[in-house]
């Protein structure tokens, strides 16, 4: 029987029991001022994510998933509480945290290769090394034949693979992905999920990945963080004790179905929060 950890994201889930978490949320709230009233987007989030862990975040629309990720990215700040990475408080964006959004944010005037090289150029990496690193990651996401193509000539899935290569190229410690496959068809999605895991197994990073798709959440993760709304909070954390590589056999296994059903239940049958 796996451990059931409702309402509690703390504690070391992965690695040594007292290992310092890579990412730590402590009492994180975020309220938005709506003029006459305040809207509580996050009502107090505590979460530890271990180094090299892959967590997925699911929950109803508006429960604060993107708010959480934006705070972790340093694009937004908590109203109270703190987020740390390696024990250091997040106080702005950093190349150590690569962000991939749902809408492929590629530069249309640059080729795949130049898009992937962009962050390295900004970081002052020399031309030869830039090219070599870009080539490595373009190859890893299967875009070698399209290295000199412009984004407008790529399919949605190819653009997203380019965005993944670009995020990886600058060697961030943490990858933050906000519904990166949301706009793609089911078949492309499955291919990209497998490719993302393959990349992750070769280039281990800590990943936080938001999705609406429960199957996707279970397929990718070490743990699924299920959130609830009003106020946004962690509802339940479901460990996914399935082996990697996650193959089609894993996806079709009864163990996978059991975990998926549990996550579905946690997402679709949430009880109202007790009145404060
Ligand atoms: N800048 C803002 N001003 C006011 N309210 C905001 C702002 N940003 C987010 N919110 C509110 O905070 C809540 C959480 O938003 P968030 O985007 O984090 O949700 P989400 O879980 O990512 O939803 P979705 O699944 O639809 O992407 C929503 O109710 C949203 O309306
Ligand atoms: Mg969102």
- The per-residue pLDDT for range 229-263, each reduced to its tens digit, is 999 999 999 999 999 999 999 999 999 999 999 99
Q: Which residues line ligand 1 (CB under 6 A)?
A: 32, 39, 41, 61-67, 232
- Which residue blocks in the chain are alpha helix, DSSP H? 65-73, 112-122, 127-140, 156-169, 186-202, 214-220, 248-251, 254-268
Name the residue at shortest CA distance from atom 19 of ligand 1. Answer: 62
- Using CA atoms, how far apart are residues 189 and 206, in angstroms rounded to an integer? 21
Which residue has better confidence, 21 or 16?
A: 21
Q: What is the pLDDT of residues 138-190, one digit of tens each?
A: 988 889 999 999 999 998 888 988 988 898 888 889 999 999 888 788 888 89
Which ligand has its closest atom nearest to the C-alpha of 65? 1
Helices 156-169/186-202 angle, 10° precision:
20
pLDDT digits (tens, 9 = 90+) for 71-112: 999 999 999 999 999 999 999 999 889 888 877 679 999 999
What's the whole-model pTM score? 0.87
Across the range 265-275, mean pLDDT stands at: 76
Full set of structural domains in the chain with CATH: 54-76+88-268 (3.40.50.300)
* Closest ligand 1 atom to 32 CA: 4
Residue nearest to atom 11 of ligand 1 (CA): 41
State whether residue 94 is helix, strand or coil: coil
């Amino acid at each position: 029987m796996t451990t059931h950890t409702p309402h509690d994201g703390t504690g070391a889930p992965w690695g040594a029991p007292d290992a310092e978490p890579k990412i730590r949320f402590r009492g994180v709230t975020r309220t938005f001022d709506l003029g006459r009233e305040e809207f509580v987007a996050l009502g107090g989030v505590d979460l530890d994510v271990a180094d090299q862990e892959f967590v997925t975040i699911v929950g109803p629309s508006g429960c604060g998933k993107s708010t959480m990720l934006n705070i972790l990215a340093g694009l937004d700040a908590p109203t109270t509480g703190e987020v740390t990475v390696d024990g250091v408080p997040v106080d702005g964006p950093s190349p150590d945290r690569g962000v991939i959004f749902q809408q492929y944010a590629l530069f249309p005037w640059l080729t795949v290769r130049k898009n992937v090289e962009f962050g390295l150029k900004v970081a002052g990496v020399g031309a030869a090394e830039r090219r070599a690193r870009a080539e490595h990651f373009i190859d890893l996401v299967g875009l070698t034949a399209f290295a000199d193509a412009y984004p407008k000539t790529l399919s949605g899935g190819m653009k997203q693979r380019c965005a993944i290569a670009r995020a990886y190229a600058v060697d961030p410690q943490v990858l933050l992905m906000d519904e990166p496959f949301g706009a793609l068809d089911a078949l492309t999605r499955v291919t990209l999920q497998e490719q993302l895991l393959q990349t992750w197994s070769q280039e281990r990073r800590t990943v936080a990945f938001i999705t609406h798709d429960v199957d996707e959440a279970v397929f990718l993760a070490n743990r699924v963080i299920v959130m609830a709304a009003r106020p946004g909070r962690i509802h339940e954390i479901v460990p996914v004790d399935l082996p990697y590589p996650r193959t089609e056999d894993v996806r079709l296994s009864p163990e996978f179905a059991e975990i998926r059903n549990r996550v579905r239940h946690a997402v679709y049958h949430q009880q109202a929060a007790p009145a404060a």
